[in-house]
């Protein structure tokens, strides 16, 4: 049953599981656990719809590269699935078998552990069973790039699709406008004793449960841990530990432009680095998409001419002909976009600010930076893709200088894929959660979502995070 905590103060005591955050991860977990006959509380900080009051709590300034942390998340029922695009690409065996070429280990679990949950995760985001992740175009000749394989979810809006189940599943209490504002750790028992929740009028109360699960997205999962004074006092969250570190994004870099050779198919193309390419260059993985632009950007003298013609439209009213000239695209001109892997880097991180939000929770700041290894990934993908275009007769590529010259600042945007801030590892020396997504040092606190990613590959994160949420549900259901 979905209740509004602003008006219904009906939290019970002693839930089996308390899940914080009702986005794709939290909703998936709640339905799996309650479906197994457990008493589950799912608390959601936002309401049923977008509200500035809730969204304001996502303010998070950044230094280094711009993360757009407020714009790339939504803080209400269904979370960021309320505007995700639905692109789904599974992780690959090599994401798990090959560690990153930095001083940090990769995933501590085998690929099979996530792969076995793929069919169920696909069904959750409305991908047809046995659809297969198909390539939309042929591979490029040679061993460097294969055709990328992905599927598009409708995209599934979790709050809408699962509204009936959230309302009707026996044993499940869902409270909206119910914000977690503190995690209270008892160092004598090594367990989280309670969490503190608050409505927007600052009415606060404590909630108890056997197990707690953080599912508030990668930035907030780390923020909740960093904000807890009792976890710091208990030595669980330390200055040099990994909570908040290794913030990763997928790099959205425009490599350059291309001219398609005559006779080549005009449709969009998507390529993906092969394992052989990654091994040869010691690079990360990457998706490269080449598509024709609707309108060619003009610079210098061409821009001035174009602008002159555009202004003529207003002056003399010969719209049709002028519009044809100003909007004319040279056949084959296109741009090359990317979704590129970033390696885990402890200096790319979230940290706590002294300033507090309207509910008294300390704000966070994100510093997103790229290591030289990431610049190398962008450079080799750019150079090798340009060569492939020429060698295979597909077309001619003009690369941006910042792609191949690492001394020029890279123009990079985020993909709204936040990962790595509570990374999974086999020991607290390298991460925050263990193989079962349990926080090191706390008996009953788990984390769901892409914050647990040890590495992010170049696959969109939502379907893999659902696979991990299903795996976590299996583990939690096995606990007595």
Ligand X SMILES: Cc1cc2nc3c(=O)[nH]c(=O)nc-3n(C[C@H](O)[C@H](O)[C@H](O)COP(=O)(O)OP(=O)(O)OC[C@H]3O[C@@H](n4cnc5c(N)ncnc54)[C@H](O)[C@@H]3O)c2cc1C
Mask for 215-254, x = binds ligand X (CB under 6 A): xxx--x----------------------------------
Among 2, 11, 18, 22, binds ligand X (CB under 6 A): 22
Through-space distance between the first and last CA atoms of the chain, rounded to whole angstroms: 25
Report if residue 47 touches ligand X, rule: CB under 6 A. Answer: no
Closer by beta carbon to ligand X, 179 or else 345: 179
Report if residue 39 touches ligand X, rule: CB under 6 A. Answer: no
Kindly state the tokens that stand for 185: 């750790």
Q: How far is the CB of 74 from ligand X (least distance, A)?
A: 7
Closer by beta carbon to ligand X, 382 or else 449: 449
Q: For residue 233, give the nearest of 189, 184, 182, 181 by alpha carbon.
A: 184
Report if residue 257 touches ligand X, rule: CB under 6 A. Answer: no
Among 6, 48, 70, 83, binds ligand X (CB under 6 A): 83
Query: What is residue 433's three-state secondary structure?
Result: strand
Q: Helix axis angle, 300-316 relative to 319-326, nearest 10°?
A: 170
State the alpha helices, DSSP H only, in 228-371.
229-233, 275-281, 300-316, 319-326
Q: Tokens 């992010």 sit at which residue?
A: 456
Task: Specify the stretch interacting with ligand X by CB under 6 A; choose among 84-92, 204-212, 272-280, 310-318.
Answer: 84-92
Task: Specify the stretch interacting with ligand X by CB under 6 A; choose among 143-151, 285-293, 337-345, 456-464.
Answer: 456-464
Q: How far is the CB of 313 from ligand X (least distance, A)?
A: 34
Report if residue 416 touches ligand X, rule: CB under 6 A. Answer: yes
| CB distance 238 to 79 below 8 Å | no
State the alpha helices, DSSP H only, in 228-337.
229-233, 275-281, 300-316, 319-326
Report if residue 2 touches ligand X, rule: CB under 6 A. Answer: no
Report if residue 25 touches ligand X, rule: CB under 6 A. Answer: yes
Report if residue 420 touches ligand X, rule: CB under 6 A. Answer: no
Q: How far is the CB of 37 from ligand X (least distance, A)?
A: 24
Report if residue 382 touches ligand X, rule: CB under 6 A. Answer: no
Report if residue 45 touches ligand X, rule: CB under 6 A. Answer: yes
Q: How far is the CB of 297 from ligand X (least distance, A)?
A: 23
Q: For residue 169, give the nearest of 321, 2, 292, 370 by alpha carbon.
A: 2
Closer by beta carbon to ligand X, 252 or else 436: 252
Report if residue 414 touches ligand X, rule: CB under 6 A. Answer: no
Task: Specify the stretch interacting with ligand X by CB under 6 A; choose among 110-118, 213-221, 234-242, 271-279.
Answer: 213-221
**Cα–Cα distance for residue pair 95/32, rounded to 1 Å:** 27
Among 17, 60, 67, 80, binds ligand X (CB under 6 A): 80
Strand partners, 396: 259
**Cα–Cα distance for residue pair 110/392, rounded to 1 Å:** 36
State the alpha helices, DSSP H only, in 206-359.
218-227, 229-233, 275-281, 300-316, 319-326
Half-sphere exposure of 463 (CA within 13 A, CB side): 29
| CB distance 40 to 12 below 8 Å | no
Report if residue 85 touches ligand X, rule: CB under 6 A. Answer: yes
CA 373 to chain centre: 21
Report if residue 179 touches ligand X, rule: CB under 6 A. Answer: yes
Report if residue 395 touches ligand X, rule: CB under 6 A. Answer: no
**Cα–Cα distance for residue pair 391/371, rounded to 1 Å:** 31
Given the rule CB under 6 A, which residues bind ligand X? 20-26, 43-46, 72-73, 75-76, 79-81, 83-87, 179-180, 215-217, 220, 416-417, 449-450, 460-462, 465
């Amino acid at each position: 049953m979905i209740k509004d905590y602003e008006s219904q103060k009906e939290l019970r005591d002693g839930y089996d599981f308390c899940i914080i955050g009702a986005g794709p991860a939290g909703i998936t977990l709640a339905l799996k656990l309650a479906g197994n006959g457990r008493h589950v509380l799912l608390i959601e900080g936002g309401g049923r719809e977008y509200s500035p009051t809730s969204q304001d709590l996502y303010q998070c300034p950044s230094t280094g590269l711009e993360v757009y942390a407020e714009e790339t998340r939504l803080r209400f029922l269904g979370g960021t699935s309320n505007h995700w695009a639905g692109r789904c690409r599974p992780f690959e065996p090599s994401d798990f078998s090959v560690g990153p070429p930095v001083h940090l280990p990769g995933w501590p679990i085998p690929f099979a552990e996530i792969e076995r949950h793929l069919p169920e995760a696909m069904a959750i985001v409305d991908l047809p069973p046995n659809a297969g992740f198909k390539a939309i175009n042929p591979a490029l000749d040679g061993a460097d790039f294969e055709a990328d394989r992905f599927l598009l979810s409708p995209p599934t809006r979790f709050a809408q699709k699962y509204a009936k189940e959230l309302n009707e599943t026996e044993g499940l209490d869902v409270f909206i406008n119910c914000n977690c504002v503190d995690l209270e750790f008892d160092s004598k028992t090594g367990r989280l004793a309670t969490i503190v929740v608050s409505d927007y009028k600052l009415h606060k109360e404590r909630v108890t449960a056997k197990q707690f699960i953080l599912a508030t997205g990668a930035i907030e999962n780390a923020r909740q841990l960093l904000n807890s004074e009792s976890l710091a006092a208990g030595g669980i969250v330390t200055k040099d530990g990994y909570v908040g570190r290794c913030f990763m994004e997928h790099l959205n870099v425009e490599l350059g432009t291309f001219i398609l050779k005559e006779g080549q198919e005009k449709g969009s193309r998507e390529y993906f680095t092969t394992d052989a390419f990654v091994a040869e260059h010691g690079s990360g993985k990457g998706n490269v998409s080449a598509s024709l632009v609707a309108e060619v950007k003009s610079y210098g003298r061409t821009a001035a001419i174009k602008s002159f013609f555009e202004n003529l439209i207003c002056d003399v009213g010969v719209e049709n002909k002028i519009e044809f000239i100003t909007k004319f695209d040279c056949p084959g001109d296109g741009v090359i976009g990317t979704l590129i892997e970033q390696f885990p880097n402890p200096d790319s991180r979230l940290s706590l600010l002294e300033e507090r939000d309207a509910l008294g929770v300390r704000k966070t700041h994100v510093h997103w930076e790229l290591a030289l290894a990431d610049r190398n990934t962008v450079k080799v993908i750019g150079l090798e893709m340009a060569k492939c275009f020429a060698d295979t007769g597909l077309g001619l590529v003009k690369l941006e200088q910042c792609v191949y010259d690492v001394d020029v600042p890279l123009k990079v945007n985020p993909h709204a894929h936040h990962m790595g801030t509570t990374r999974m590892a086999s020991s607290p020396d390298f991460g925050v959660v263990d193989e079962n997504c349990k926080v090191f040092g706390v008996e009953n606190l788990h984390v769901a979502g892409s914050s647990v990613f040890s590495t992010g590959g170049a696959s969109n994160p939502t379907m893999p995070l659902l696979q991990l949420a299903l795996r976590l549900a299996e583990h939690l259901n096995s606990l007595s």
